[in-house]
Amino acid sequence: ILLDEEGHIKLTDFGLSKESIDHEKKAYSFCGTVEYMAPEVVNRQGHSHSADWWSYGVLMFEMLTGSLPFQGKDRKETMTLILKAKLGMPQFLSSEAQGLLRSLFKRNPTNRLGSGIDGAEELKRHPFFSTIDWNKLYRREISPPFKPAVSQPEDTYYFDTEFTSRTPKDSPGIPPSAGAHQLFRGFSFVAPPSGGEDRPSSTSPSLSVPKMLNKNVAFTDVYTLRESIGVGSYSVCKRCVHKGTNMEYAVKIINKSKKDPSEEIEILRRYGQHPNIIALKDVYEEGNSVYLVTDLMRGGELLDRILRQKFFSEREACAVLFTMCKTVEYLHSQGVVHRDLKPSNILYVDESGNPESIRICDFGFAKQLRAENGLLMTPCYTANFVAPEVI
């Protein structure tokens, strides 16, 4: 079960699937992952589509509790538990969840929920799913609870490095026949834009630097470091130049021994496409340092602009605050709290002073809400700008 870039699920790997299975015609293959096998698969007495609903129950139990319902020290013991063990139902589960699990864990497949004439409709009608609009879900009109942090179509962040680290091998096709060109008469092809080039941007055009996931590539192999442009509690920000394109960027260098950057990276990767949030271009890891490459904010900090002008008129302040309010509203709607909003973390893309060119930066203290009560317990802040409940 995989997630697409929007967080919608896709069912994959049909290598062990079987067609034309019903109550009359059964399959007798012993296949699958033991912990998810239905009793009728384990005892090899023949199984129908009801076996999938047992596996569905195992999946549900694992998602709700973090453990498998039947798991022994080896395959033989696990199969014995599936056939004979009494399942202890965790009491922290809701009565609806417990009821659905008990209906799915029926060892007699004919008594199992979903095995009747109505099939999956029996599950859909269960009280556990009472809040689900199945038609909207099918049309992908319900926002997924989790959206993966994917920044561009070629992103392989979630792929297993065991495979992405391998050297690619060419697999040439069969040479075309002499008349093969006739097949493509009148055919033309234009490669689609990559790296998000087709997405509109309010910033000046810039070349999207491909993301390097190869740990053998060092940051200094791709970029040249220049002068420092900012210093924080756990990091330093410098100007850098991409060697291949001569484009200028900013790089935030974080000391991993002082600060775990994983939350900041995930937030920037997931929400950096917003027009008023700084865009993360690249991530490198070398020893004890992590390099976050972003757009270079040539307009400087809001703090510097305030100090230069000595004061903002209400009209200017209103325009800036309106842009910030829209951006913070977006972050909050996605369950993200910045926790360090201050003038030095609000930067301009250019010297125009246009409020729409504002970018919220430095998500080092930002957090994605995960607790049921929505509260954050980690005290992170800049003293003069902190809310009382954080202290």
Which residues contribute to the annotated binding site for ATP? Answer: 252
> CA gyration radius for the chain?
27
C-alpha distance from residue 165 to each of 98, 159, 168 (Å): 43, 10, 9
Query: Torsions phi, psi of 230, nearest 5?
Result: 180, 150
Listed in order, strand segments (DSSP E) in 163-234 are 223-231
Closest CA to 267 of 136, 149, 132, 167: 149
**What is the layout of strands, in order, in the sheet containing 300-301?**
300-301, 346-348, 358-360
13/30 Cα distance (integer angstroms): 17
For the record, the structure tokens of 232 come out as: 């924080």
Q: Helices in the chain by DSSP H: which ranges? A: 39-42, 50-65, 75-84, 95-104, 120-124, 134-138, 161-164, 219-222, 262-271, 302-309, 314-333
Give a three-class secondary structure readout of 222-288.
HEEEEEEEEECCCEEEEEEEECCCCCEEEEEEEECCCCCCHHHHHHHHHHCCCCCECCEEEEEEECC
- Residues facing 245 on adjacent strands: none
Residue type, 233: S
339/390 Cα distance (integer angstroms): 9
Binding-site positions read 252
Which residues lie below 8 Å from residue 24, measured CB to CB, with a gap of 6+? none
Within 10 Å of residue 301's Cβ, how many Cβ atoms? 19
Within 10 Å of residue 82's Cβ, how many Cβ atoms? 26
344/264 Cα distance (integer angstroms): 17
For the record, the structure tokens of 285 come out as: 């890891």
